[in-house]
């Protein structure tokens, strides 16, 4: 028993009273407070503030008052256990404090200053955020009079926007938890708590489509990368249930506790996604997998997008927008971990493009007027930025070199009742994943293959077959003509999915009735592509190409020779399938693309070499599926790998380039885009390149964008910061600011964010720093998010995976009014690379954040 609770326990006989026994507790996020109306020998209110594992407690005879002139006596009494915040009922007469106790208010509090010093010195200031009490308050200790033994304080309302002329508490005669009056609590009545009209529900599912439904009859939300969960909340308890009916409350206890605490006796059913959110606001499935293995550290959030029931009413027959309007109101004041999922009306293609630019999984379109039917009926449509889905694990292999571990998983999907083999995955199976899989497959072994079409055994490996009980999430490039996965990568196991429900996902080309044909959403090439997680990086030897001049006036043609087999060799790299068309409308072939990178290598490498890369590959050209890649793989030469510490304590393998060979080799592997970190590998913790992307809302003309560039440059000039300009290859320009690598990532990112905020504050009708699409109406988004640790931005001279082969090309400042953001294409970029460098002097800039 904690010493702090000894006085509390000594005063109570727990064989008679139902009050909780004092056993101490651990803090769980924000500090909580409560006020209990206590009708004992004397009617009073008990104020309790959570601190250091207990509830600091004061008895306030007249109750709190919103009038600062009312100085309410508050008698400091013994500390109470944290469990006391849930106590409401009757203490037997004859017991200490015998009488009726009501939970009159509850919420969170924030100290204004040092709590221990305030308790010691007799002045404790704080802010209350409750359902009935809000604003700033102060407890002031009274100097004891002669012969007094009590610890008496005064509770006083501080002057702020919540002040009232009177006490302001007279109208509250019921419990915030149960809705009961004091008489109903004393009589043992159940009160007026609502119950949910159902305790289970099938979730609404989305059909995969190839193009966004058009028109204002659809709304669009981010497609989150986590675990789908229904939350059933009633009677101050919360239950989390997965889409296949499994209870996940024990897996996410903090979210369940937050929902229960915040519900305050209300009943509701929510639909949403439990996900880990990284520093850039994106959901990270692998981080969630790491959390489930080791629940310590950062906690997931619950992203809520639908409301199925409220206060006993079934809302599933109501239109979606009506449900969402009520949901948004309900979630006002919810804990930070419970978040409302906003939406955009119409503009499906724009929403998808924005999601892919931010390297999100995709978007979900929903019919605005549709009820919630708990089926996959076409009312919801999903569009993905890359290929990924769940597959059934039907076996695994071990190689002769790795007899004890898992080399690859053998995957399948159900088709007409039978499980068909679709390929194997080995990429992404690190030590942590292998350990998890060894436990998961225990007891599932079987003698024969569960597949209708089992794969043929490979030499030097051993296959083990499994009952098809496990589901794995996999990212992959595309399907082969043989119905197998190309370039799959393992993301984790999905215990929330039913194996029998796993089918090969094919986009519905017709889609919902008002879906029109359009380009594949899988083309995820965009400005500022960044890794799906922001890894904690470590330093590595520099690969800066110091021997090459930074600003050559002329470039030599790359060396092109014929190989012995009659193929094409460029800079020592054999180019396969050189005639393959990569940019369909312009007819640009793979050979032309590889030649381009070979010819611009000397100009490009100073900006790309020695920086961690993320790349966009398009194996079939820009008209087909492209995929984002941040980890090294087979086939490339001239690259250097680097182990970067990850947030879970392990490491992730990334890569960078040192030479033209690496650049050309990547192009030979169908890499179109190169995106780089804002720091070099020899100074990984100290960024040196700040990028602002001016992203205009649809419909803004080019002159408005150019004015935005000039406004931003003006602010940078006022700070004596030298900046450079380049095209994005899309709708906007990029303003690039070089720095000496001296600042921390946090300071660097905050500086960039503040610059964007200053623009939004100075010209609120022109600019926004808010990433939400809804905030961009008629404005330019000053995208500062490229500047976080692990974020990337498109490299100078990189092609863009868009029709016409546009290039993100450096410009001189006097070219702003004559060169559009998407005006420079492959041939023009080649000519510019052979001309004087518009960024001459870039590497001579010596400036810091100040």
User: Domain map of the chain by residue range?
Assistant: 3-187, 221-347, 387-501, 560-683, 689-844
Among the listed residues 719, 745, 728, 733, the one whose alpha carbon sits nearest the alpha carbon of residue 802 = 728
Q: What is the pLDDT of residues 153-191, one digit of tens each?
A: 999 999 988 899 889 898 788 888 777 889 888 887 655
**What mean pLDDT do residues 656-683 have?**
92
Instruction: Write a three-state SS string for 13-54.
Output: CCCCCCCCCCCCCCCCCCCEEEEEEEECCCEEEEEEEEECCE
Q: Are 783 and 776 in contact (CB under 8 A)?
A: no
Q: Is the pLDDT of residue 558 over 70?
A: no
- How confident is the model at residue 740, as a pLDDT? 93
- How confident is the model at residue 556, as a pLDDT? 34
- How confident is the model at residue 114, as a pLDDT? 87
Across the chain, mean pLDDT equals: 84
Q: Are 276 and 533 in contact (CB under 8 A)?
A: no
Q: What is the CA radius of gyration of the chain?
A: 31
- How confident is the model at residue 754, as a pLDDT? 93
Q: Are 484 and 422 in contact (CB under 8 A)?
A: yes
CA gap 734, 809 in Å, rounded:
10
Among the listed residues 336, 222, 226, 362, the one whose alpha carbon sits nearest the alpha carbon of residue 288 = 226
208 alpha-carbon distance from chain centroid: 22
**What mean pLDDT do residues 423-440 have?**
83
Three-class SS of residue 360?
A: coil
- How confident is the model at residue 27, as a pLDDT? 55
Percent of the chain with pLDDT over 70: 88
Q: Is the pLDDT of residue 333 over 90?
A: no
- How confident is the model at residue 788, as a pLDDT? 87
- How confident is the model at residue 86, as a pLDDT? 85
**Does the CA dihedral 437-439-445-450 come out positive or negative?**
negative
CA gap 437, 425 in Å, rounded:
13
Q: Is the pLDDT of residue 559 over 50?
A: no
Q: Which residues pair with 478 in a beta bridge?
A: 486
pLDDT class for 404, splitting at 50, 70, 90?
low
- How confident is the model at residue 336, as a pLDDT? 83
- How confident is the model at residue 248, as a pLDDT? 92
* Torsion angle of C-alpha atoms 445, 450, 454, 457, degrees rounded to 10: 10
**What mean pLDDT do residues 792-812 have?**
94
Candidates 1.10.10.10, 3.30.1330.60, 3.30.1330.40, 3.90.920.10; CATH matching 689-844: 3.90.920.10
Q: What's the token pair of residue 153?
A: 């304080």
Q: Count helices and strands (H / E) in the chain.
A: 13, 47
Q: What is the pLDDT of residues 446-474, one digit of tens each?
A: 999 999 999 988 888 889 999 999 999 99
* Torsion angle of C-alpha atoms 403, 407, 413, 418, degrees rounded to 10: -20
CA gap 111, 137 in Å, rounded:
10
Instruction: Write a three-state SS string for 790-846.
Output: CCEEECCCEECCCCCCEEECEECHHHCCCCCCCCCEHHHHHHHHCCCCCCCCHHHCC
Q: Is the pLDDT of residue 670 over 80?
A: yes
82 alpha-carbon distance from chain centroid: 32
Among the listed residues 675, 681, 685, the one whose alpha carbon sits nearest the alpha carbon of residue 748 = 685
DSSP 203: P
**What mean pLDDT do residues 642-669 have?**
82
- Span between the terminal Cα atoms of the chain, in Å: 53
Q: What is the pLDDT of residues 21-44, one digit of tens each?
A: 877 655 555 788 999 999 998 999
Q: What's the token pair of residue 278?
A: 């990284």
Q: Are 654 and 792 in contact (CB under 8 A)?
A: no
pLDDT class for 760, splitting at 50, 70, 90?
very high
Q: What is the pLDDT of residues 689-722, one digit of tens each?
A: 999 999 998 889 999 999 999 999 999 999 999 9
Among the listed residues 345, 352, 392, the one whose alpha carbon sits nearest the alpha carbon of residue 369 = 345
- How confident is the model at residue 36, as a pLDDT? 97
Question: Distances from the Cα of 50 to the Cαs of 82, 100, 114, 677, in angstroms?
Answer: 7, 22, 14, 43
Give me the sheet containing 671-677, strands edge to edge.
Answer: 627-629, 613-617, 671-677, 792-794
Q: Are 695 and 781 in contact (CB under 8 A)?
A: yes
CA gap 305, 204 in Å, rounded:
11
Residue the block writes with tokens 């007249």: 62
- How confident is the model at residue 564, as a pLDDT? 34
- How confident is the model at residue 422, as a pLDDT? 94
Q: Is the pLDDT of residue 357 over 80?
A: no
Among the listed residues 678, 806, 636, the one whose alpha carbon sits nearest the alpha carbon of residue 731 = 806
**What mean pLDDT do residues 117-139 have?**
92
CA gap 237, 62 in Å, rounded:
32
The H or E element spanning position 183 is helix 182-187
Q: What is the pLDDT of residues 823-837, one digit of tens each?
A: 999 999 999 998 999
Q: Is the pLDDT of residue 517 over 50?
A: no
**What mean pLDDT do residues 244-263 have?**
88
Q: Where are the beta strands (DSSP E) in 86-142?
A: 89-91, 99-111, 123-130, 134-141
Three-class SS of residue 409?
A: strand
CA gap 280, 789 in Å, rounded:
9
Q: Is the pLDDT of residue 539 over 70?
A: no
User: What is the CB neighbour count within 10 angstroms for residue 528?
Assistant: 22
For the domain 387-501, what is the CATH code?
2.40.50.140
pTM, rounded to two decimals: 0.41
- How confident is the model at residue 297, as a pLDDT? 75
Q: Are 616 and 525 in contact (CB under 8 A)?
A: yes
Q: What is the pLDDT of residues 207-247, one digit of tens each?
A: 888 788 887 789 999 999 899 999 999 877 899 999 988 89
Q: Are 563 and 676 in contact (CB under 8 A)?
A: no
DSSP assignment string, 445-491:
EESS-SSSSPPPPPTTEEEEEEEEEEEEEEEESEE-TTS-EES-EEE
Q: What's the token pair of residue 20?
A: 């909780």
Residues 6+ positions from 714 with CB-CB distance below 8 Å = none
The H or E element spanning position 691 is strand 689-696
Q: Which of 134-138, 297-301, 388-392, 774-778 has the lowest mean pLDDT?
A: 774-778
Q: What is the pLDDT of residues 45-103, one digit of tens each?
A: 999 999 988 999 999 999 999 999 999 999 999 999 988 988 989 999 999 999 999 99
**Could you list the active site residues?**
223
- How confident is the model at residue 675, as a pLDDT? 94
Q: Are 825 and 805 in contact (CB under 8 A)?
A: yes
Instruction: Write a three-state SS string for 519-546.
Output: CCCCCCCCCCCCCCCCCCCCCCCCCCCC
**Would strands 152-157 and 207-208 be described as parallel, antiparallel, or unpaired?**
unpaired
Superfamily of domain 221-347: DNA ligase/mRNA capping enzyme (3.30.470.30)
- How confident is the model at residue 780, as a pLDDT? 94
Q: Residue 329 burial by CB count (10 A; 0-12/13-18/19+): exposed, middle or buried?
A: exposed
Are the folds of 560-683 and 689-844 the same?
yes
Going by CATH, does the domain composed of 560-683 fall within 3.40.50.720?
no
CA gap 249, 239 in Å, rounded:
6
Q: Is the pLDDT of residue 679 over 80?
A: yes
- How confident is the model at residue 175, as a pLDDT? 86
* H runs (alpha helix) in 90-168: 115-121
């Amino acid at each position: 028993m904690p010493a702090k609770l000894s006085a509390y326990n000594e005063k109570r006989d727990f064989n008679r009273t139902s009050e909780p026994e004092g056993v101490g507790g651990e803090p769980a996020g924000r500090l909580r407070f409560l006020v209990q109306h206590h009708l004992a020998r004397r009617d009073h209110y008990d104020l309790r503030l959570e601190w250091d594992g207990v509830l600091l407690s004061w008895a306030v005879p007249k109750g709190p008052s919103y009038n600062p002139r009312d100085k309410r006596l508050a008698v400091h009494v013994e500390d109470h256990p944290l469990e006391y915040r849930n106590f409401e009922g009757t203490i037997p007469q004859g017991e200490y404090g015998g009488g009726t106790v009501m939970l009159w208010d509850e919420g969170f509090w924030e100290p204004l200053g040092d709590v221990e010093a305030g308790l010691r010195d007799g002045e404790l200031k704080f802010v209350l955020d409750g359902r009935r009490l809000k604003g700033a308050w102060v407890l002031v200790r009274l100097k004891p009079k002669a012969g007094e033994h009590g610890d008496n304080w005064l509770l006083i309302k501080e002057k702020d926007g919540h002040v009232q002329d009177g006490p302001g508490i007279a109208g509250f005669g019921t419990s915030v938890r149960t809705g009961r009056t004091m008489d109903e609590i004393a009589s043992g009545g159940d009160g007026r708590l609502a119950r949910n009209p159902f305790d289970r529900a099938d979730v609404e599912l989305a059909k995969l489509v190839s193009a966004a439904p058009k028109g204002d009859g659809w709304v669009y939300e981010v497609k989150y990368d986590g675990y789908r969960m229904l939350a059933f909340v009633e009677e101050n308890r919360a239950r989390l249930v997965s889409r296949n009916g499994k209870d996940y409350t024990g897996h996410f206890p903090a979210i369940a506790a937050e929902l229960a605490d915040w519900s305050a006796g209300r009943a509701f059913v929510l639909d949403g996604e439990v996900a880990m959110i990284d520093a850039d606001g994106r959901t990270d499935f692998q981080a969630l997998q790491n959390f489930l293995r080791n629940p310590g550290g950062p906690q997931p959030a619950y992203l809520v997008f639908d409301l199925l029931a409220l206060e006993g009413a079934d809302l599933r027959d109501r239109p979606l927008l009506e449900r969402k309007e009520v949901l948004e109101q309900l979630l006002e004041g919810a804990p930070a971990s419970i978040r409302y999922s906003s939406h955009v009306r119409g503009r499906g293609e724009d929403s998808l493009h924005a999601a892919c630019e931010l390297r999100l999984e995709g978007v979900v379109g929903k019919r605005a007027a549709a009820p919630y039917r708990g089926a996959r009926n076409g009312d919801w449509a999903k569009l993905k930025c890359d290929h990924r889905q769940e597959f059934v694990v039907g076996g695994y292999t071990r190689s002769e070199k790795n007899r004890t571990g898992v080399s690859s998983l053998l995957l399948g999907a159900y088709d007409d009742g039978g499980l068909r083999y679709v390929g194997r995955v080995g990429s992404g199976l690190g030590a942590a994943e292998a350990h998890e899989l060894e436990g998961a497959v225990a007891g599932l072994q079987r003698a024969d293959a569960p597949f209708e079409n089992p794969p043929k055994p490979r030499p030097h490996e051993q296959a083990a077959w499994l009952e098809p009980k496990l589901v794995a999430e996999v990212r992959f490039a595309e399907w082969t003509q043989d119905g197998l996965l190309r370039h799959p990568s393992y993301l984790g196991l999905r215990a929330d999915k039913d194996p029998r429900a796993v089918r090969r996902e094919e986009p519905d080309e017709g889609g919902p009735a008002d879906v029109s044909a359009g380009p594949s959403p899988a083309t995820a090439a965009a400005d500022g592509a960044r890794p799906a997680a922001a890894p904690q990086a470590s330093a590595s030897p520099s690969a800066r190409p110091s021997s090459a001049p930074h600003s050559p006036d002329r470039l030599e043609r790359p060396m092109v020779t014929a190989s012995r087999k009659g193929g094409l060799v460029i800079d020592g790299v054999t180019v396969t399938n050189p005639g393959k068309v990569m940019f369909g409308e312009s007819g640009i072939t793979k050979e032309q693309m590889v030649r381009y990178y070979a010819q611009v290598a000397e100009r490009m490498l100073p900006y790309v070499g020695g920086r961690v890369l993320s790349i966009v590959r398009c194996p079939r050209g820009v008209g087909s599926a492209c995929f984002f890649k941040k980890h090294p793989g087979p086939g490339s030469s001239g690259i250097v790998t680097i182990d970067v510490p990850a947030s879970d304590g392990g490491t992730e393998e990334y890569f960078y380039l040192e030479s033209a060979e690496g650049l050309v080799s990547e192009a030979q592997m169908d890499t179109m885009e190169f995106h780089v970190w804002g720091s070099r590998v020899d100074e990984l913790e100290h960024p040196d390149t700040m990028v602002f992307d001016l992203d205009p809302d649809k419909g803004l003309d080019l002159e408005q964008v150019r004015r935005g560039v000039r406004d931003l440059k003006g602010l940078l000039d006022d700070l004596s910061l030298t900046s450079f300009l380049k095209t994005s290859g899309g709708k906007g320009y990029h303003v690039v600011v070089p720095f000496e690598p001296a600042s921390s990532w946090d300071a660097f990112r905050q500086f960039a964010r503040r610059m964007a905020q200053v623009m939004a504050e100075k010209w609120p009708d022109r600019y926004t720093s808010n990433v939400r699409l809804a905030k961009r109406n008629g404005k330019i988004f000053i995208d500062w998010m490229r500047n976080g640790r692990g974020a990337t931005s498109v490299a100078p001279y990189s092609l863009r995976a868009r029709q016409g082969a546009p290039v993100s090309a450096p410009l001189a400042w006097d070219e702003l009014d004559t060169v559009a953001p998407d005006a420079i294409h492959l041939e023009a970029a080649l000519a510019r690379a052979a001309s004087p460098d518009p960024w001459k002097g870039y590497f001579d800039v010596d400036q810091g954040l100040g």
